Amino acid sequence: MINRAIIDKKKQKAIFKYIETMRNGRQLKLMFGFNWLAGMRCINFIYLTYNDVIDAFGKVRDIVELSPEKNKGHKSCRYYINDELKAMIKDYVKDWEKSNPSRYLFLSRKTRKPYNRNSISKIFTSIYKTFGMECSTHYGRRHFITELLNNGTALVVVKSLVNHSDVSMTARYYNENESMLKKVVNTIKV
Task: State the DSSP string of 115-156.
Answer: PPHHHHHHHHHHHHHHTT----TTHHHHHHHHHHHHTT--HH
For 119, how many CA atoms within 13 A lie in the half-sphere containing its CB?
Answer: 13
Using CA atoms, how far apart are residues 24 and 107, in angstroms rounded to an integer? 10
DSSP 8-state assignment for residue 54: B
* Rounded distance between C-alpha atoms, residue 124 and residue 54, angstroms: 25
The answer, as to whether pTM is greater than 0.85, is yes
pLDDT at 179: 66
Cα dist from 3 to 61, 125, 135, 141, 175, whole Å: 29, 10, 5, 10, 9
Instruction: Provide the residue ranges of all domains of the chain, joining segments of one domain with +.
Output: 9-185
As a whole-number percent, the residues of the chain with pLDDT over 90 amount to: 63
pLDDT number for residue 154 = 93
35-86 tens-digit pLDDT: 999 999 999 999 999 999 999 999 999 999 999 988 888 899 999 999 999 9
Q: 101: pLDDT confidence band, cut at 50, 70 and 90? A: low
Q: What CATH number was assigned to the domain covering residues 9-185?
A: 1.10.443.10
2 pLDDT higher than 80:
no
- What pLDDT band is residue 190 in, cutting at 50, 70 and 90? confident
Q: Are 114 and 104 a contacting pair, CB within 8 Å?
A: yes
Average pLDDT over residues 31-36: 97
Rounded Cα distance between 3 and 126, Å, is 13
Kindly tell me the burial class for residue 88, based on how many C-beta atoms sit within 10 Å of its own C-beta (0-12, 13-18, 19 or more): buried
Q: Is the pLDDT of residue 20 over 90?
A: yes
99 confidence band (pLDDT: 50, 70, 90): low
